[in-house]
Chains A and B, each alone.
Chain A
Amino acid sequence: MSDARLLSVLIPAVGGQGGGVLLEWIVDAALADGLQVHGTSIPGVAQRTGSTTYYVELFTEPDSGAEPPAFSLYPVPGALDVLLAPEFLEIGRMIELGFPSPDRTTIIASTHRLYSIHEKIATGRGVYPIEDLHAAARAFSMTLYAFDALALAREHGTEANAVLLGALAGSGVLPIRVDAYRDAIRAKGVQVAANLRGFDAGLAVATQLRGPAEAGAGSSARNGTRSEPAPASAGPQTAAAADPALEQRMAEFPAELRPTLETAIARLVDYQDRRYVERYLERLRPFAGDPELARVVARHLAVWMTYEDAIRVAQLKTRASRFERIRREKGALRGEIVVTDFLKPDLDEIYGILPHRLVAPFARWAERRWPHGRPAFGQHVKTTTVLGYLRVWMLTLLRPLRPISHRAHEEHARMDQWLTALARCAGWDKALALEVARGAQLVKGYGDVRRRMRAHLDRLLASVLRAAECEGANGGGFEASRELAARYRVLVLQGPDGEARAAALAERVLTRLAAADRAGALAALAEA
């Protein structure tokens, strides 16, 4: 009675990733090598784009005509030999369910992520912390092979499953010959050449990862993680700070701010002009004394001051580098592309670019007339045709008028509001000011979304200032105000449900503080 003759492989996949094919390859390869094997999966709609698992059991003794093995349809938590994961979050799910065990399991995983809908719909960052997944994979495996199989697959024109099959073969955890896997791919008869290339790539990675670890017997983690390259930005990133005058101005700020300032200045020059940079630095100066606060303000202020009005959108959409990026990203380097832009400016965005004095009365009327969902003008513009390009490009010519535009008037007034609140808070409590500065993260989106998010910042500022006044009057620190600023922002960034909760929380905290019940306010915050 020993386990040694039975090996189990669990494949936690995302529906549509080809986990079923991966299972069939393994089963077919094992059969070809004369092993008794069985595999199970979950069919049908239950797996469409959702978490799904495939499971293989191998009996390593050749079929002797004796009683057949008692195969299990399900993996047993803690008694798993191989966890073969075509996606990295699913590793976490399997660990949560107790399947891999550090005493027994080899984890072979692709580190790329397919985000779940719940990670995607947060207004801010809802992505599950990848470091936690890496740490868990290390902690819950006897041996770990982790690398980006999808990236490797794409290089070879195939899918992650073929690469992982190669890695499984390379890991040597199953008593199946490498050629038996190759034969299984050939026998399946689908995309054979590409899948074989992917298989060999995965095989090479695993063999290579296995080599050194095998030599140094102590270490067991074979972590070949590669980090995802961020796409190159279209904007000119070269610092405009070659300018000696600007160089001098920058010297007025703490040195650790320099990288942020260089990026910010380049962006502001690209957006408007040198004078605009002066205005930026002027606004930033009051915070220069505190490098931590200054860096946060510098970042958010630069983003806010380069708000995406129609002129900015036109500028970004008509850059030559943009079309190059699209060709690269969409795999059209050798082909041609025709780009159609989906533009739908609403009334605000249209009169926003006109001079404030001219349109202010109209804007006031329009805001009353359409409190939500202003009329919008949808158009599909083919920006790779001359006429289509011209239509968008012409807008960029309005850039010199931007400083007197209605939108500029509105946006800068709000920025000033934020900066004033910041200055007040900085006078009270440094940490409070830092949280309020971070609040500017809420200002994003277009049209109704941006108006809604801006209103949240308004509310955050108003609530936090009132809270701080209450706390200030009673003495004894600004803990509740600070916490309110942080919680409010975090809740709003969780999405629409969080927005309602944030508003309710502000209400509750203020009521408590007004009643001089600081403990109650803190309790409400701790609950939220």
Chain B
Amino acid sequence: MGERSFAEDVKQLGYGAGEILRGEGILAITKALLQSGVSYVGGYPGAPVSYLIDVLADANEPLLKPLGIYFEQSGSEAAAAALLGASINYPARGAVTWKSVVGTNVASDALSHVASAGVIGGAVVVIGEDYGEGASILQERTHSTALKSSLPLLDPRNSLESFARFVEEGFGLSEACHQPVLFSIRIRACHMRGTLRCRDNARPKISMLTPLGEPSFSLERINLPPFTYQMEAQKFEKRLPAAQRYIVEHGLNEHHRGDEPDVGIVMQGGLWNTTLRGLHVLGLADTRGRTAIPLLVLNAIHPLVPDELVGFLRGKRRVLVVEEGMPNYIERELGALAHDARLDVEIHGKNVFSPHGEYVPQLVIGGLRRFLTAGGLTSRSATEIDARYAALTAHRTRVRSVLPQPVAKRPPSFCTGCPERPVFSALKILRQREPAVGDTHVAADIGCSTFSTQAPFNVGNSVLGYGMGLASSSAVAPLFGKRTVAVMGDGGFWHNGLTNGVANAMYNRQDSVLVILDNFYAAATGQHHVPSTGTNARNETVRMGIPDALRGLGVKWIRTVNSYRIAEVIRTLREALTTRVPGLKVIIARNECMLERQRREKPRVRQAIAAGAEVVQPRFGVDPDVCTGDHSCMRLNGCPSLTLRENPDPLREDPIAHVDETCVGCGVCGEVAHAAVLCPSFYEVNVIANPTRWTRFVARVRRAVIGRLAAVTA
């Protein structure tokens, strides 16, 4: 399973002390989990941390099982957070992972409960902070969750060594303060390739091989009054102070004294790399990050340690806080501490940077320059800094003179041969050709299918959370007086859609249409298994079916269609939208994710061809002289392999349609041309490699006859 094979990575996870692991940030984190002696690991896949689940799944047989570590790909982030419940009563270390902030939102209920009850075994949540460039979700930070639930939050410097160290410290911290610890990692850091000097994996004291004796019961760990009051008090009287002590004693935050007497920079650990690069390009640091400016690197951004911060502020005139996201908790805290300690120090931060958005280099460098040239450094003059800045940016003013038009946008979209795309072709064609039926509110969902809202489909009026599409249209249909359509993937269906969507709709007797895109995997995250895949992440057979689940909830109107047959999909949609049958109508549009299918098929076909076997491969094409270049097909199809090329006809000027060699022959171009009655330009061609004698004979006879006929009219 998974987008890539992790055999090599799994081997590295088994490395012992002193061996050098080469790989990505996530791999270093996974290795550190094993070095920390975890008893259980789990999580819900989602970029940027889905790869952690992939590696663990592949490592389950060779590595985790022999160590007695329990692994599961949880049903949702809520289930993953609840997994940490094992550490409430038992001194077992455990870790879970998910993408944040959305995953944290889903997990909140369980997470708050664990945070309230407290843990006796170290519990770490690896948070993939899906924020900034490359994020695929709404933009919020996880910081506030840590604050409200009193969870220590680590945001370490970006290097594999640092990640490994802070995962291990995370367990120590968790055990010292009896709180689960959030370990946050940024998007690019997850797939940052580097090296890690390994330590031996630790065999967990409690494991499937050395099981627990008897259940532990303590009323004090039950989230019910009066103990909940006690737990709340403990958080602030015992647990957070213990965390602060641990942070100081283990030197989690780094203080570089520097030579500049008056200024200093406080930063989140995760922003160390960008900040130091900024200082470097402005001539204030070398490539190893050595600088004259005093720095306080907060690898633990919650809880903050007041003494540490005041110590840093003392004696300085101006301090800059490099803190991503709003609200700016750290900056405010510093301001309040400076005030309370009556320090005469200016705190800058959001005023020189942008108040929101990812802290990318151009933003950080601009802010550093503003801060550093305003106050006067001893080691560099403002003029020197400005000159450095100008050298970096001068060329940018000339961009529009060479590129007068803005460069065409290129949003992510459905892959070549994607089985979800034709469903949106069908919805668009139905909307265009029969607006009375098809022009209705469409509630989109999270997953690859969210791309339906982009060009060329622009289908989907709202996106509201994973598996929440159907629920999000509950009030729309009655207010419209018309059936609405909700679309969700199989991943979303099992995650949240079954209960919050289908059960809710059945319970409230909603009269609407749900389209489930069943492509056998949670494809957006990298073809992770879902309950209806047939096997779980540990490759054990699981028999859970979408139709069975629907029937179990009392859904009567269920149709399963082949998603590539657009005419059939349109017919079924029309029926669902117009039938007299009341209640929820569910269409399951099925076909395997093409990425996964090609990953399996391509090598097989290559081998077969190399072995000389006759192989038939369907491909599509456009007759260049039949196509008139109106591009209607592009507006209804959107396949990457359906593209443009220059018109071979010297009398015409507009480019024509062209199916390039990446076509996988799914047939959607032809289906679209047919269903929307576009043009006769498309043809399907079965390319037969290594034809047998019989195939060649038949082809020869046909060619002879056809050649004669063609000669008559030529």
Contact = CB atoms under 8 A, between A and B. Distances in A.
Contact of B632 (A41, A70, A124, A445): A445
B677 interface: yes
A331 B661 contact: yes
Contacts of B161: 68
A373 B433 contact: yes
B406 interface: yes
B674 A136 contact: no
A3 B631 CA distance: 49
B706 A320 contact: yes
Given A70-B287, A231-B624, A446-B680, A50 B410 contact: yes
Interface in A116-141: 116-129, 132-133, 135-136, 139-140
Interface string B656-700: 000001000000001001100111101111111111000110010
B685 A318 contact: no
A16 B418 CA distance: 13
A16 B699 CA distance: 36
The listed residue with most B CB atoms (<10 A of its CB), out of A14, A115, A345, A373, is A115
Interface string A69-80: 111111111110
Interface stretch (B210-218, B278-286, B330-338, B530-538): B278-286
Contact of B412 (A47, A77, A128, A322): A47
Contact of B407 (A96, A121, A334, A383): A96
B274 interface: yes
Nearest to B695: A336
B524 interface: yes
A358 interface: no
A94 B295 CA distance: 32
B75 interface: no
B242 interface: no
B273 interface: yes
B628 A43 contact: no
B687 A316 contact: no
Interface string B400-437: 00111111111111111000000000000000010000
Contacts of B655: 125, 127
The listed residue with most A CB atoms (<10 A of its CB), out of B276, B567, B670, B677, is B677
A114 B625 contact: no
A13 B385 CA distance: 33
A116 B644 CA distance: 10
A44 B526 contact: yes
Given A44-B524, A232-B648, A318 B47 contact: no
A255 interface: no
Nearest to A71: B273
Given A73-B158, A445-B679, A102 B395 contact: yes
A429 interface: no
A302 B650 CA distance: 11
A279 B403 CA distance: 46
Interface string A32-48: 00000111111111111
A144 interface: no
B674 A378 contact: yes
A42 B680 contact: no
B91 to A, nearest CB: 34
A336 B696 contact: yes
Interface in B45-71: 46-48, 50-51
A462 interface: no
Nearest to A191: B606
B413 A117 contact: yes
B274 A39 contact: no
Given A445-B679, A496-B635, A335 B661 contact: no
Contact of B635 (A70, A96, A121): A121
A384 interface: yes
Interface in B589-634: 619, 621, 623-626, 628-632, 634
A71 B273 CA distance: 6
A264 B650 CA distance: 9
A68 B702 CA distance: 70
A74 B274 contact: yes
Interface residues of B, number: 135
B574 to A, nearest CB: 13
Contacts of B403: 92, 95-96, 132-133, 136
Given A77-B396, A342-B683, A67 B289 contact: yes
Contact of B47 (A43, A140, A372, A453): A43
A318 B714 CA distance: 10
Interface stretch (B130-138, B311-319, B339-347): B130-138
B383 interface: no
A448 B674 CA distance: 13
B131 to A, nearest CB: 12
Contact of A125 (B396, B625, B650, B654): B654
A46 B136 contact: yes
A383 B684 CA distance: 10
B392 A78 contact: yes
Given A317-B626, A326-B683, A332 B621 contact: no
B50 A44 contact: yes
A114 B640 contact: yes
Interface stretch (A23-31, A360-368, A503-511, A518-526): A23-31
Contact of B188 (A41, A303, A380): A41
A195 interface: no
A506 B385 CA distance: 55
Contacts of B683: 317, 326, 339-342, 383
B343 to A, nearest CB: 29
A257 interface: no
B661 A154 contact: yes
Interface stretch (A212-220, A386-394, A477-485): A386-394
Given A38-B192, A102-B395, A114-B640, A45 B412 contact: yes
Contacts of B631: 120-123, 495
Given A76-B361, A118-B408, A233-B625, A24 B133 contact: no
A50 B411 contact: yes
B687 A302 contact: no
B22 A103 contact: no
A289 to B, nearest CB: 22
A242 interface: no
Given A78-B396, A342-B674, A73 B648 contact: no
Contacts of B649: 233, 303
Interface string A167-211: 000000000000000000000000000000000000000000000
B159 interface: yes
B710 to A, nearest CB: 4
Contacts of A78: 391-393, 395-396
B191 interface: yes
A19 to B, nearest CB: 12
A316 B625 contact: yes
A422 B291 CA distance: 74
Nearest to A105: B395
Contact of A449 (B526, B632, B705): B632
Contact of B686 (A233, A300, A338, A397): A338
Which 4 pairs from chain A and chain B are nearest by CB? Answer: A44-B47, A50-B412, A42-B134, A70-B289
15 contacts: A23-B193, A38-B193, A42-B188, A43-B190, A44-B526, A45-B524, A69-B288, A70-B273, A70-B276, A95-B403, A114-B640, A118-B409, A123-B632, A339-B686, A389-B709
Given A69-B287, A73-B188, 19 more contacts: A37-B194, A69-B288, A76-B361, A117-B455, A125-B655, A299-B651, A300-B651, A308-B626, A316-B626, A320-B707, A323-B706, A326-B683, A336-B691, A337-B687, A340-B683, A341-B680, A343-B680, A372-B433, A393-B710
Interface of A: 1-3, 5-6, 14-16, 23-24, 27, 31, 37-52, 55, 59, 66-79, 89-90, 92-93, 95-96, 98, 101-103, 114-129, 132-133, 135-136, 139-140, 154, 228, 230-235, 260, 263-264, 267, 299-300, 302-303, 308, 313, 315-320, 322-323, 326, 329-332, 334-346, 372-373, 376, 378, 380, 383-386, 389-390, 393, 396-397, 441, 444-450, 453, 493, 495-496
